[in-house]
Structure 1
Amino acid sequence: MMNQLVVLLNLIGLLVLDTLFLADVRITQDLPASLAPGSEVRVTVEVEKGDLSGFAKLQLDLPPGLSATAIETKGASFTYADGKAKFIWMSLPSSPSFRITYTLAAAADASGSATIAGRLSYIEDNERRTYEIPT
């Protein structure tokens, strides 16, 4: 019984520390439910970063048959290669939240269903942190 109480207190402590000391980051994408082969759609990514500043990289992992082209990067450099779309900021925008947009295109021979995974990597207190974008 005592061991269970100690484990419970440790878990609660970790949750509290995580909430207090990690940046309050949230990212959402307005991805369509489906995308016809040969078509494209504009996707908006909402980044809520609070007072986080400095270097950051947003990477989106696209499945085969999909590609991305940047529209609005909010000062990031954009690259797309080997199914990875990368937005890289030497210094994040100063506002607590911002939006970037890109065109998501499906190849004419694309088929099946897939998810787009992604993550924001950033530096906080001289340590690298990663926020996984919910899919």
Structure 2
Amino acid sequence: MEKKVLGYYGEQAALAYVRQEKGYHVRCCNYRNRLGEIDIIADDGHTLVFIEVKTRMTEAYGLPCEAVEQRKRRQITRVASAYLAQFDLWERPCRFDVIEVWPENGGQPAGRHIVHAFLAERR
């Protein structure tokens, strides 16, 4: 599966999961600014959740969540800070989650939701 197609597949699976299984209110997908991108931004009750989705065909190179290394965490933190500033949401509690997705043979994706996957990172 092509990398872009695999990423889109994973993001759609994660989106369906947070909406249908978790009951989150999705604010936006693929939020971008000059600092980078966040895959999904959603409300879990009063908590604002910034979600990074990682999709892999195999675990040959490690778990998908392992790709969210320090540089990526810092980038997500900067983008999230800009989002909070843009919409004046500084008073909202926030967290950073990672959703791992693996395509399954039967057509249904398998996944794992890591709540509070990391804390905001600064330089």
TM category (shorter chain) comes to 0.3 to 0.5
Higher normalized strand content (fraction of residues): 1
Structure exhibiting the larger radius of gyration computed from Cα positions? 1
Question: Which structure ranks higher in relative contact order (CA pairs < 8 Å, sequence separation ≥ 6)?
Answer: 1
When you count helix as a share of all residues, which structure comes out higher? Answer: 2
